[in-house]
């Protein structure tokens, strides 16, 4: 037969009254449990019992000893301590309980004597279980015995468990025995209260530590004697291995080193409140960092200072961002008022050096296959005389290397053997170097280099700033180039309009004059002079048509609308045809055309356009040759190109005028009116057509006259 034990009862279902008496527990936001709408509820106690923390107080040793004291005080053979876990009672300590009573380790609240104690929150004394209707059905009810239970409360009055004594025989419990069990329950309450207090304090510490460690500000606290008692994780990262009270390398806003007593903690110990005090940390790491410092005293209940707390905010990034904006503004201002990149260079470099707190900067520009130093700047007070070569070859030195790879280069220490700095630069003065290529719309046009006197690790923000400044420089150069082109275009347009106006006005004037003569002539005059007047009008009309056609052709070539079809053709035959026609046109004029042409010379080209070029060149040569002069036309093959040379007998064109003649905006006064009139656009149109054929055209001169030399490739390129 199984022996009865305290709290042992049948396994009946929960009644509505029992359910109403047992507090409902719900999850709290922090993972514990809370008691809802109970007059004696305690969220802290519920969370405490929801975790195994309290078992460290009332388990094995301490709980069993408390049960033994309870049994002795009540003069009972058995005693136990149980706690509520959910809807059950769990055994935490026992005395004199038989081994087969392990079943009472977990008992239902609604079907046990302990459950009655929990629900009522009062003492339960049973003298004879066989005669007491309060005893639930079960072993105790079947075999009898005496039970004495008292509730265990927390400090808020919530019932947490039961402290009980049991006798297998019926008995009357004395007032002293009842008081003894109540005192044992009070001891359990005190132990639980102490554990709860420790638990809550530990939780508060954990929450506080988590909050402080999650702050972006470094926080430190000290006691009244100035001993640092707390440092959060952020402060440890900011300060590194240095003690919080160490002021080595610290300075105020004006750069004056801080004394120990000027640190926020010690100012606060003197009762001072510190707000947003700027400090700079030099030498903590490899670069200067900037902080804002707050501090205030910690006062006890009597108002005396018992400690101090200091918070430090790292504002290096914000400060650098402000200086970056100032640098960009200074660069923009310098470029706005400069006529050239060389003129703007020193002011730009000065702004960069001042912003970065570095010591030296250089601006290099690409020039005729090399890169030359366009500007340089060193911070005031920095030793002068840093040797900088005037030019560097492609890939030479830091600037030449950045030009070659066309991407930013960060050299952590130029004093190292693998440095790319020019060998002329003093390695013991400069350490970190940064080179940024400068681009315009077509590609790299220069390099911006800056140097520090300390070793610095690469920084993406700094590279981004310098890339932005390099972009400003590239845009400045491109903008100035566009402005120059616009000025040249405006000037060319004006000259072009003046030229066209002159060229068009001449034939129009002749046409108008001779038309007027025809209108006013009588019949005899018309018969005698009419054919001659009509011939003049026809010639000027043809010239006007030629000018308009050449303008349209030139415009189409410039715009890319003209279609140049390069097919195999006999250039010698085309030149011979033009020469023959020109000889007929100038028959009787005091100019001789000499031709030296091969029998055949095949080139890939547009026959009509090349024929027009030869006509223009030959017509110009005839017009400019003096009376009795010879115009020479020659054509030959050089192996890879066909060379057509047309020479006149006029004086040499000055070298300064030769290129201007190809613009169509310039007229030389050395020509003579001949039978072959010109539009003034021959050379301009000729260059456009020749370049479409992947060839070249140039003017050469000498004592005998001026030669136009055209080179056309013999194969399609």
Indicate the DSSP class of residue 155: T
0.75 exceeded by pTM:
no
Residues 440 and 370 occupy one common structural domain: yes
* 406 belongs to a structural domain: yes
Same domain, 342 and 302: no
Residues 174 and 229 in one domain: no
CATH number at residue 278: 3.30.450.20
Q: At what angle do helices 341-356 and 316-336 cross, to 10 degrees?
A: 170
Question: Are 32 and 47 within 8 A, CB to CB?
Answer: yes
Residue 529 burial class via C-beta count within 10 angstroms: exposed 0-12, middle 13-18, buried 19 and up: middle
Write out the residue range of the structural domain in which residue 400 sits. 320-484
pLDDT single digits (tens) 182-196: 999 988 888 877 777
What is the token pair recorded at 533?
Answer: 């007047």
Tell me if 326 is assigned to some domain: yes
CATH for 410: 3.30.450.40
497 falls within a domain: no
Among 84-88, 148-152, 659-663, 703-707, name the most confident range: 148-152
Q: Identify whether residues 568 and 698 lie together within a single domain.
A: yes
**Core vs surface per residue 588-617: b (16+ CB within 10 A) or e:** ebebebebebeeebebbbbbebbbbbbbbb
**Residue 262 sits in the same domain as residue 365:** no
> What pLDDT shows up at residue 645?
92
Residue 452: pLDDT over 70: yes
| Number of compact structural domains in the chain | 4
Give the lowest-confidence range in 75-84, 96-105, 386-395: 96-105
Last residue of some domain: 314, 341, 372? 314
Q: Which of 322, 326, 305, 399 is nearest to 360 (CA)?
A: 399
pLDDT tens digits along 230-240 = 888 888 887 77
The answer on 126 and 46 residing in a single domain is yes
352 and 449 both lie in a single domain: yes
CB-facing half-sphere around the CA of 164: CA atoms within 13 A: 32
Backbone phi and psi for residue 173, each to the nearest 5 degrees, phi listed first? -90, 130
Crossing angle for the helix pair 682-692 and 523-559, to the nearest 10 degrees: 40
pLDDT at 117 over 90: yes
Token pair 């050469």 is found at 700
String of DSSP letters for 316-352: HHHHHHHHHHHHHHHHHHHHHT-SSHHHHHHHHHHHH
Q: Are residues 51 and 91 in the same domain?
A: yes
Q: Report the share of the chain in percent with pLDDT over 70.
A: 77
Looking at the structure, do residues 103 and 239 belong to the same domain, yes or no? no
User: Quick check: is 128 in a domain?
Assistant: yes
Q: What is the pLDDT of residue 559?
A: 59
Q: Lowest mean pLDDT: which of 23-27, 468-472, 520-524, 595-599? A: 23-27
Report whether 431 contacts 441 (CB < 8 A).
no
**Nearest by Cα to 618 from 588, 641, 584:** 584
Whether the per-residue pLDDT at 299 is higher than 90: the answer is yes
Asked whether residue 527 is domain-assigned, the answer is: no
Does one domain contain both 608 and 685?
A: yes
| Mean pLDDT for all residues in the chain | 78
Question: Does 25 score more than 80 pLDDT?
Answer: no
- Picking from 273, 299, 314, the residue at the C-terminal end of a domain is 314
Please indicate, yes or no, whether residues 425 and 568 belong to a single structural domain of this protein: no
Domain boundary among 294, 314, 334: 314
The pLDDT value given to residue 147: 92
pLDDT tens digits along 453-490: 877 778 888 888 888 888 888 888 888 777 777 776 67
Give the model's confidence band at 710: pLDDT under 50 very low, under 70 low, under 90 confident, else very high: very high
Q: Is residue 60 pLDDT above 60, yes or no?
A: no
Mean pLDDT of 334-362: 85
Quickly list DSSP for 450-468: EE-SS-----HHHHHHHHH
178-183: long-range contacts at Cβ-Cβ below 8 A with a sequence spacing of 24 or more? 178/123, 178/125, 178/148, 178/150, 180/70, 180/73, 180/74, 181/70, 181/73, 181/74, 181/123, 181/148, 181/149, 181/150, 182/123, 182/150, 183/73
Considering the domain boundaries, does residue 502 fall inside one?
no
> What digits encode the pLDDT tens for the residues 522-579?
888 888 888 888 888 888 888 788 777 766 766 666 656 667 788 999 999 999 999 9
Low-confidence winner among 135-149, 300-314, 504-518 (lowest mean pLDDT): 135-149
- Percentage of the chain beyond pLDDT 90 is 20
Beta strands 289-299; 159-167: pairing state: unpaired
Range scoring the smallest mean pLDDT among 116-125, 654-663, 689-698: 654-663
CATH number, residue 670: 3.30.565.10
Structure tokens at 132: 């007491």
- Is 227 a member of any domain? yes
Q: Are residues 146 and 232 in the same domain?
A: no
Non-local CB neighbours of 500 within 8 Å, separated by 6+ positions: 547, 551
E strands along 354-432, which residues?
A: 360-367, 370-378, 391-392, 409-411
Residue with tokens 């030449």, as numbered in its chain:
400
First to last CA, the chain: 115
**Is 452 part of any domain?**
yes
Determine the average pLDDT of the residues in 280-293: 75
Q: How many residues does the chain have?
A: 717
What pLDDT score does 523 carry? Answer: 84
């Amino acid at each position: 037969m199984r022996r009865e034990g305290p709290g042992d009862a049948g396994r009946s279902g929960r009644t509505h009254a029992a359910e109403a008496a047992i507090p409902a527990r719900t999850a709290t936001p922090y993972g514990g449990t809370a008691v809802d709408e109970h007059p004696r509820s305690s969220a802290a106690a519920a969370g405490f019992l929801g975790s195994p923390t309290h078992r460290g107080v009332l388990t094995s040793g301490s709980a069993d000893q408390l049960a033994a004291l309870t049994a002795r005080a009540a003069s009972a053979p058995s005693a136990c301590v149980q706690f509520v876990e959910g809807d059950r009672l769990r055994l935490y300590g026992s005395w004199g309980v038989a081994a087969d009573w392990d079943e009472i380790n977990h008992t239902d609240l609604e079907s046990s004597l302990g459950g009655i104690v929990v629900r009522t929150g009062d003492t339960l004394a049973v003298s004879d279980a066989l005669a007491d209707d309060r005893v639930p059905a079960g072993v105790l009810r079947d075999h009898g015995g005496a039970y004495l239970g008292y509730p265990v409360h927390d400090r808020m009055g919530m019932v947490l468990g039961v402290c009980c004594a049991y006798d297998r025989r019926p008995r009357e419990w004395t007032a002293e025995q009842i008081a003894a069990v109540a005192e044992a329950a009070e001891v359990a309450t005190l132990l639980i209260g102490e554990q709860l207090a420790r638990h809550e304090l530990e939780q508060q510490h954990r929450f506080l530590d988590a909050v402080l460690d999650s702050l972006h500000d470094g926080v430190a606290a000290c006691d009244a004697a100035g001993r640092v008692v707390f440092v959060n994780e952020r402060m440890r990262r900011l300060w590194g291995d240095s003690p919080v009270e160490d002021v080595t390398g610290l300075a105020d806003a004006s750069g004056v080193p801080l004394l120990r007593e000027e640190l926020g903690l010690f100012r606060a110990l003197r009762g001072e409140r510190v707000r947003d005090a700027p400090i700079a940390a030099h030498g903590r790491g490899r670069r200067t960092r900037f902080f804002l410092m707050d501090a205030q005293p910690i006062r006890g209940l009597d108002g005396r200072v018992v400690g101090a707390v200091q918070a430090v905010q790292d504002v290096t990034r914000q400060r650098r961002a402000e200086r970056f904006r100032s640098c960009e503004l200074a660069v923009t201002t310098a470029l706005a008022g400069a006529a050239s990149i060389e003129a703007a260079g020193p002011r730009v470099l000065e702004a960069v050096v001042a912003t970065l707190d570095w010591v030296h900067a250089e601006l290099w520009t690409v020039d005729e296959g090399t890169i030359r130093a366009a500007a340089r700047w060193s911070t005031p007070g920095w030793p002068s005389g840093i040797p900088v070569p005037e030019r560097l070859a492609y890939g030479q030195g830091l600037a030449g290397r950045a030009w070659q790879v066309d991407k930013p280069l960060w050299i952590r220490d130029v004093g190292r053997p693998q440095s790319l700095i020019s060998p002329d630069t003093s390695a013991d003065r400069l350490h970190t170097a940064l080179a940024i290529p400068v681009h315009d719309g077509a590609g790299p046009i220069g390099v911006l280099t800056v140097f520090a006197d300390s070793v610095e690790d690469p920084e993406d923000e700094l590279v981004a700033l310098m890339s932005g400044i390099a972009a400003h420089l590239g845009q400045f150069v491109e903008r100035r180039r566009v402005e120059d082109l616009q000025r040249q275009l405006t000037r060319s347009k004006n000259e072009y309009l003046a030229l066209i106006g002159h060229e068009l006005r001449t034939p129009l004037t002749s046409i108008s004059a001779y038309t007027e003569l025809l209108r006013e002539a009588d019949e005899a005059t018309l018969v005698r002079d009419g054919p001659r007047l009509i011939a003049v009008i026809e010639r000027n009309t043809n010239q006007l048509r030629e000018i308009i056609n050449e303008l349209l052709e030139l415009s189409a070539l410039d715009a890319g609308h003209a279609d140049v079809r390069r097919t195999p053709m006999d250039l010698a035959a085309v030149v011979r045809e033009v020469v023959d026609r020109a000889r007929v046109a100038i028959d009787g004029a005091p100019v001789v055309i000499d031709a030296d042409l091969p029998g055949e010379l095949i080139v890939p080209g547009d026959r009509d356009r090349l024929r027009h070029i030869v006509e223009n060149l030959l017509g110009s040569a005839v017009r400019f040759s003096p009376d009795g002069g010879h115009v020479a036309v020659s054509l030959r093959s050089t192996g890879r190109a066909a060379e057509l040379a047309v020479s006149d007998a006029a004086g040499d064109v000055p070298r300064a005028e030769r290129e201007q003649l190809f613009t169509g905006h310039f007229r030389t006064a050395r020509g003579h009116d001949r039978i072959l009139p010109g539009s003034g656009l021959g050379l301009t149109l000729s260059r456009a057509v020749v370049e479409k054929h992947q060839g070249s055209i140039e003017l050469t001169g000498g004592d005998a006259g001026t030669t136009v030399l055209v080179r056309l490739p013999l194969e399609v390129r």
